[in-house]
Amino acid sequence: MEEVAAGLEISRKTLSAIINQKQGISLEMALKLAKVFNTSLDFWLRAQENYNLAQAEKK
């Protein structure tokens, strides 16, 4: 986890918050994730949007 956080240039605490669904994925974070994991920006933005939708549907 430390290596991933370092690659994203964020703290382990921030990475943990994202993984444990205590913090969302911002546009800036989506850009970092896309670069580090060689995925599209759209993938991460859609993942966050799907999570937001699922949470809204629970309410």
Residue 14 lies inside a defined structural domain of this protein: no
Residue 6 lies inside a defined structural domain of this protein: no
pLDDT at 3: 94
d(CA 17, CA 29): 12
Residue 9 lies inside a defined structural domain of this protein: no
Q: What are the residue ranges in the chain where pLDDT is below 70?
A: none
**Structural domain span for residue 54:** 25-59
In terms of C-beta distances under 8 Å and separation of at least 24 residues, what long-range contacts does 19-26 make, across chains too? 21/51, 24/48, 24/51, 24/52
pLDDT at 38: 97
pLDDT at 59: 87
Residue 12 lies inside a defined structural domain of this protein: no
Count of structural domains within the chain: 1
